[in-house]
Structure 1
Amino acid sequence: MSFNRPSLATLIDRIATDIASRLPGTGARLRRAMTTILGRAQAGAVHGLYGHQEWIAKQILVDTCDEDVLARHAAIWKVPRKAPVAANGPIQVAGDEGDVVPAGTSLTRGDGTEYTTDADATIVGGVATANVTATVAGVAGDAVANTALSFVAPIAGINANATVAAAGIGGGADVEDLEAWRARLLTRIQQPPKGGTSSDYLEWALSVSGVTRAWVYPQELGIGTITVRFVTDNAPGGLIPDVPTVTAVQDYIDSVRPVTADVTVVAPTASPLDLTIQLTPDTVAVRDAVTAELADLINREASPGGTILLSHINEAISIAAGETDHVLTVPAANVVEATGAMTTLGVITWA
């Protein structure tokens, strides 16, 4: 039988009743009687003790404990919180032939994000490629190609401005979300390592910073092979992971996998799903609601090589706020992806 914590009002009434029964005639329920004052003070103290006991009970269980206690549970099970990762990548610098951009040189982006060069870079043919790392870890350090950077301090013979190279600056990740960490710990408890089963590879992939969802495909490339695909939903560049993150996952899995396993980590291939919808009523608000519902559906059900059911697409449109009717003409059947391809939301044409 479950225990229901008594409310403060219930405790006050219980104590007043107890005093009245043991000390008749003392006015235990009179507003300004001493017995009433003492009873209320006792009720408040008892209520606080009940609250502390309730808090303690929550800390015992992984699914209800606070952040600091979750860290202790996680330490026992060896499931550390994924730390933030600093973004890194190449930039293009122009200048005079033979001049050098020293390692540790600082550059800033227009929003104040700072980067430092990882090694010396020498100008050859008027240009040099230097690898930089964001000074503060997190997804905010990611930058797309051609983003402008400026040197914090001028360097003789080097142009004051630089640009992010075609590969972009990526791989940044924020500290792991608290509930995502809790979910990984619960998975570790419920599905302990078994020497290289599919659930092991799933957990190993999810242990890398930035990874939010992962899928395991045994023997996809032949007997004894394992293919792992994953996405980074929170990355500024979208859910398809960049090369540094794929490398990080491959390196981590290689460090913990059974020595006989042949593991390949690859990014899914985005497969945009274009839709044509005749909407009633066709207003901006309803269009936005439909778009949000479709994005949520794809986020929940899309997987590499997976299927999005046509009936689920229609359902997502129907539950959008304000929608009273619609006709979906594209797609006309279930969306079945090829191996490695993953459905993403494409262009919606409002017929």
Structure 2
Amino acid sequence: MITYDEIYNKMRSEFEVQSRFDFDEKSDADIRIRVLAGEIFNAMTSIEWLKRQMFVATATGEYLDYFASQRGIERKKAQKAQGEITFFINEPAENSIFIPTGSMVATADAEPVRYVTTEDAKITAGNTLVSVSAQADVAGRKSNIPIGSAKIIVSAPAEINYAYNREPFENGCDEETDDELRERIKASFLVPSNGTNKAYYEKLALSVSGITKAGVIAKQRGTGTVDVYVSNGENSPTAAAVAEAQKLIAKNRELNVDVRVAAAQAKRVNMSVVVYAKGGYIRNDIVDICTQVFKDYLNEIEIGGTMYAAEVGKRLMNSGCIRSYKFATNFIDNSATAAQVFSAGTVNIEVK
């Protein structure tokens, strides 16, 4: 696109040609030309931006949402991680201790994530603990935490001595990004949904928040049956998400078709690899980077897909922190069944 200086210089040259006078940069005409050049440049910038919003490949934000709505697709909202918080007392309670909805526990991070209970509970007389359903107070992937991470009591009855999560908080996810939404829009053109094909059922399942992958198997339980397997990437989708997908698909299914929605079975893949570090990186950082690269790749593979060892190696090298690698001999290409989805198992990374 033409720059402000190019516009200004072109207008200045044209002024000198038309007026037949040398241009004076301190003149009133120079001020006017600079102001006008700035407005022209702003208008051209806006036009260029608007041109990008006219195509799925380059549209962003709400303009990409408009394209999605034309294909019957909506951007997925961020989801809060779900789990349980267990509250403890040191000695068996003489009387029941009431724990109200909204009691809060947080992680001990520099930027703590808080988790609030979603139901009333009580430690009954003679007991020392109770587990209560809870969710993160903000949505997003960062609210997924392992066991024992949420242990700082923010608000709870004074009788409570300590608390923590005895199970991981899972199924938190970020709002669907422009790139992720764009891929779904493109897929709707490449494999049009016609109400009876695989793409139709996948599209319905993927429209449910908390579901990022879907696979379809026809006639697995006999003629007139369709099985839809869903996943939330790193974790199994919540029972509520599966139930919502079941309800949606049952409502929009073909006539005389028995449709069943279920969580895809996790197929754990272990990776053992020796990596040779580049200068400037410390061991812990390399382990974290390589582990995340492996998890991200598995998360990209669709239900029933194939994991390629060569692709893992390529991505490890592209991470920029290693100069070479060597997999264990048992780390080879791996294929999932139509009802399985890959997830990371034991990851052993030796740094040299």
**Alignment TM-score, normalising by the size of structure 1:** 0.73
Is 1:82–1:208's contact at 8 Å kept on the other side of the alignment?
yes
Per the alignment, do residues 9 and 227 of structure 1 end up closer, same or farther by CA in structure 2, a change over 3 Å counting? same
Quick check: 1:174–1:210 contact (8 Å CA) kept in 2? no
Compare relative contact order (CA 8 Å, sep 6+) and give the higher one, 1 or 2.
2
Which of residues 137, 148, 151 is equivalent to 2:151?
148
Write the letter of the residue equivalent to 2:342. M
How many residues of Structure 1 are paired with residues of Structure 2 in the alignment? 333
Counterpart secondary structure, 2:271: strand
Residue of structure 2 equivalent to 1:82:
76
CA distance in 2, matches of 1:35, 1:330: 77
Q: Which residue of 1 aligns with 2:96?
A: 99
Match of 1:266 in 2: 263
Residue 303 of structure 1: how far off its partner (Å): 4.4
Could you say which residue in structure 2 is the equivalent of 1:255?
Answer: 248
Contact kept? 1:297, 1:313, Cα under 8 Å? no
Contact 1:116 1:135 in 2 (8 A): no
CA apart distance, 1:347: 2.0
1:14 to 3, 10, 13: 10
User: Match of 1:118?
Assistant: 119
Which residue of 43, 50, 56 corresponds with 2:44?
A: 50
Q: Is the 2:170–2:235 Cα contact (8 Å) retained in structure 1?
A: no
CA, structure 1 residues 221+240, in 2 after alignment: closer, same or farther (shift >3 Å)? farther
Q: Tell me the equivalent position of 2:173.
A: 173
- Secondary structure of 1:159's counterpart equals coil
CA distance in 1, matches of 2:84, 2:323: 51
Instruction: For 1:61 and 1:189, locate their aligned partners in 2 and report how far apart those are by CA, in whole Å.
Output: 13
Alignment partners' CA distance in 2, 1:71 and 1:97 = 57
Gaps of at least 5 residues in structure 1 are: 233-238
2:104 maps to a residue whose letter is L
For residue 60 of structure 1, give the secondary structure of its aligned residue in structure 2.
coil
Q: 1:284 to 1:129 in 2, by over 3 A?
A: same
**Shift, 1:330, TM fit:** 1.4
Task: Tell me the distance in 2 between the aligned counterparts of 1:53 and 1:303.
Answer: 38
Which residue number in structure 2 is paired with residue 235 of structure 1? none
Alignment gaps of 5+ in structure 2: none
Report the alpha carbon displacement of residue 75 of structure 1 after superposing the two structures with TM.
5.0
C-alpha distance after superposition, 1:217-272 (max 9, x if no partner): 4344544222323233xxxxxx1325x2x541342243234062422322332322
How many angstroms does 1:198 deviate by?
1.9
Q: Do the aligned partners of 1:67 and 1:178 also contact (CA within 8 Å) in 2?
A: yes
Partner of 1:199: 199
Name the CA distance, whole Å, in 2 between partners of 1:151 and 1:31: 65
1:291 to partner: Cα distance: 3.1
Partner of 1:132: 134
Residue 230 of structure 1 aligns with an amino acid whose one-letter code is: S
Q: Which amino acid aligns with 1:255?
A: L
CA distance in 1, matches of 2:115, 2:326: 50
Query: Relative to 1, partners in 2 of residues 1:123 and 1:162: Cα closer, same or farther, differing over 3 Å?
Result: farther
The 5 Å alignment of 1:158-237 reads 159-166=160-167, 168-188=168-188, 193-223=193-223, 224-232=225-233
Letter in 1 for 2:124: I
Counterpart for residue 235 of structure 2: 240
Give the structure 1 partner of residue 26 of structure 2. Answer: 32
Are residues 283 and 217 of structure 1, via their aligned partners in 2, closer, same or farther at CA, if it must alter by over 3 Å?
farther
Tell whether the 8 Å contact from 1:88 to 1:133 is kept in structure 2 after alignment.
yes
Percent identical pairs in the alignment equals 17
1 CA distance for matches of 2:203 and 2:349? Answer: 35
Tell me if the contact between 1:310 and 1:331 (Cα under 8 Å) persists in the aligned partners: no
* Residues 221 and 318 (structure 1), Cα distance of their counterparts in 2 relative to 1, 3 Å cut: farther
Structure-1 separation of matches of 2:326 and 2:135: 49
How far apart, in 2, do the equivalents of 1:139 and 1:275 lie? 26
TM-score, normalised via structure 2 length: 0.73
- CA shift for structure 1 position 206: 2.8
Instruction: Report deviation, 1:325.
Output: 5.9
Question: Per-residue deviation at 1:316?
Answer: 4.8
Counterpart contact for 1:337–1:343, Cα < 8 Å: no
1:201 shift after superposition: 2.9
Provide the aligned C-alpha RMSD in A: 4.0
